[in-house]
A and B are shown apart, each in its own frame.
Chain A
């Protein structure tokens, strides 16, 4: 075995390891929002990080954040596919949006701004495909291009899923606002 090559390779791996550790908060946040449970998210992220280092050869330089988030994202979806069956029904959102058919009221949505529990519930009700868009865009601040790289779909699909997710969230948040107000009056 050639020791020189080996050392160069292990330096590469160390540098990638250090880079992806810097994105651990983002990776964990994505996993928590996708799979829900704290322990499942920790296990998935740990496994994904170790797997990432074993396949450093597939990393062609560039954006380490997008690369590690893609690996974590794929691990989460593998887990979801094994564990649940109904999370990929994107049409459910379209049906829900069409069924109510009303425009959301911006001021009602803003009234929910500090009610973290309700916002969490609303986001959790989105299908995983839509939820990842919200997490990557609004919480992690990724550009459409970066989101496309992480999720493996074209930019146009990123746009339409984000649009659909926000319309649905607008409805969920303003509806809950109404129900909450009625409860409070009683």
Chain B
């Protein structure tokens, strides 16, 4: 694939609209071509910025009331219809997403272990992610959108200080965190949300390079930074999970501003 083809396909790739084979060819090109990789990063940045939920306009109550008072709308059987309509769309989507996760769990529990260090960690991270989303499991030990509440909670519970970032303004609100175990070692799990999708970010000391993986429709992005290893797991699409990783890393690096 040459740069001209790649540039034509970048947007569709960022939107998850490319077929698997073309995606793989494009990914191969992006690994080798810093120019196109930068253009792709710019696309992703624009998508991240524009997806800020604060940009959404919600229909004013006055408009809804005016409609419900006119024509056929006024004949809708009143109470249930109103209530159904007023459930925020994100909540509906979240509920649907959790049900899908629950339904898939039985299938995913049967994943076979494949050798290879990162593959085993990826497997454990995914299993933990799925466990955390089960109806009777606990997702959060500390529930707060405030990084200054979440970070101190881990003091005394783990022997390292995990970086905790507030990415709410960038469309990835923090939900909280919990203490988890991955392959028999205690790790920090930070929980973020992207619209209807839950992201588990596992953190522990030690550097282990970077990688990404896809397993049964879930994406995993792994990186190392400042002496820590990070694994992000979600059913979010790959470009958006990479956006999350980029944002978290960008916030983690020491400020370069004067």
Contacts and interface: CB of A to CB of B under 8 A. Distances in A.
Contacts of A109: 42, 45-46, 49
Contacts, number: 145
The size bracket of the interface on B is 35 or more
Interface residues of A, number: 51
25 contacts: A18-B76, A21-B68, A22-B84, A22-B85, A29-B57, A45-B63, A46-B63, A46-B70, A49-B73, A53-B71, A53-B73, A103-B42, A106-B38, A107-B45, A110-B170, A116-B55, A119-B55, A138-B47, A139-B51, A143-B17, A166-B46, A169-B46, A169-B49, A170-B42, A170-B46
Contacts of B58: 25, 28-29
Interface string B33-69: 0010011011111111111101111111011101110
A54 to B, nearest CB: 8
Interface of B: 8, 10-12, 15, 17, 35, 38-39, 41-52, 54-60, 62-64, 66-68, 70-73, 75-76, 81, 84-85, 89, 169-171, 195, 246-247, 250
A173 B46 CA distance: 8
Q: Which of A18, A26, A33, A120 has the most CB of B within 10 A?
A: A18
CB-based closest 6 A-B pairs: A114-B169, A28-B59, A109-B45, A106-B41, A32-B57, A106-B45
B204 to A, nearest CB: 26
**Chain A interface SS verdict (over half):** helix
A125 interface: no
A163 interface: yes
B71 A50 contact: yes
